[in-house]
Structure 1
Amino acid sequence: VRSNNGSEWDTTGRSIVDTLTVNNGSQVNVSESKLTSDTIDLTNGSSLNIGEDGYVDTDHLTINSYSTVALTESTGWGADYNLYANTITVTNGGVLDVNVDQFDT
Structure 2
Amino acid sequence: MTAATPRNSGATGNESSSNPARPRVPRGRSRLPSVSVLLGALSIASFWVSGLGFILGVSAVVCGALATSRSGVADDEPASLRALLGVVAGVAGITVSATALFPVLAYL
User: Into which bin does the TM-score normalised by the smaller protein fall?
Assistant: under 0.3
Larger relative contact order, structure 1 or 2 (CA cutoff 8 Å, min sep 6)? 2
The structure in which a higher percent of residues are helix is: 2
TM-score in terms of structure 1 length: 0.24
TM-score in terms of structure 2 length: 0.24
